[in-house]
Amino acid sequence: MNIRFIVNPASGKNKANVQDKITCIKTVFPDAEVVLTQRPGHATELAREAAAHNAKAVIAVGGDGTLNEAARGLVHTLTPLGIIPSGSGNGFARELGMDLSFKKAVQQIRRMNVMACDVGHANNHLFLNVAGVGLEAEIAWQFMEHGKNGLRGKWPYFKLGAELLFSYQPLPFEMHVAEKKSYVCPLTLTFANGKQYGSNFKIAPQASLHDGLLDMVAVQNLPKWKLAVALPSFFMGQQPPLEVTQTTQINHVLLMREGTFPFHVDGEPHQAENSLEISVAHKALKILLPEQNNAR
């Protein structure tokens, strides 16, 4: 097998131009195989099948969710994973330096380097970019519910986040890191392999994709005006004031609290019961990135 492009026809705003995307891909890669996902989890099956047939590469065409699914099928294999961003936030694609223009991104795929990338795990759910609990997990959960009514995209996400910011009550956790126990109650707690959630909102500007560590970023539950003042620093790639965030590099952490609580992996919401275990697998996935990108 040469290259398999896995296209999520439901990702992004322009769902009607799937055939245009396929035509664009086949124009540049006439020998490539292009397949469409048909259901949740299908990208994992298609990627795993491609790796079993020694595909030269698998290219996920979609958002962070599509990329996450494809990665599940390629982790610990020799087949590298690339992405053509076609979602809303496109956090990981931005991290890799992929152009957000579909046609330009397809051209970029022609000249790529291979890099071994870390992957995170949250209760055995893989993540490439970020996972988290607290406000960001609640936003992901509510966004999923709103999405059932067709409300998707960048601005509905930010609008929902702004609304929840003023009503969300932080959850307390017992946290175990390196055999040390502490108690935390952050507004949100992020475990970052990449630097940003998406849309250039950089929650962990110093994070590296291949250092064997995750940046654990705790956003404190401060008065809302202080958070508003700090907000521009996240988009400018600067470290926010210390009173706003606290960052610790970890390779394993265990969070505990009674009952169920939401968490997310690459923006996809899940439920944990009583505990959430976060870990990182060092250089477990081969990824493609543009030649001009010297990813940290």
> Any idea which fold 125-282 has?
Tumour Suppressor Smad4 (2.60.200)
Q: What is the mean pLDDT of residues 42-62?
A: 97
Top-confidence residue, 166 or 30: 30
Q: Quickly list DSSP for 57-93.
A: EEEEEESHHHHHHHHHHHTTSS--EEEEE-SSSBHHH
Q: What is the mean pLDDT of residues 275-281?
A: 98
| Contact assessment for residue 67 and residue 81, using Cβ atoms and an 8 Å cutoff | yes
Q: Tell me the C-alpha distance between 193 and 204, whole Å.
A: 9
Side-chain half-sphere of 129: how many Cα atoms within 13 Å?
28
Cα 195 from chain centre: 10
CATH of domain 3-110: 3.40.50.10330
Quick: pLDDT tens for 173-228.
999 999 899 999 999 999 999 998 877 888 999 999 999 999 999 999 888 778 87
Q: Which residues of 3-36 are buried (b: 16+ CB within 10 A; e: fewer)?
A: bbbbbbbebbeeeeebeebbebbeeebeebbbeb
84: nearest Cα among 59, 54, 114, 64: 59
Looking at residue 155, its pLDDT comes to 55
Looking at residue 165, its pLDDT comes to 77
Domain ranges of the chain: 3-110, 125-282
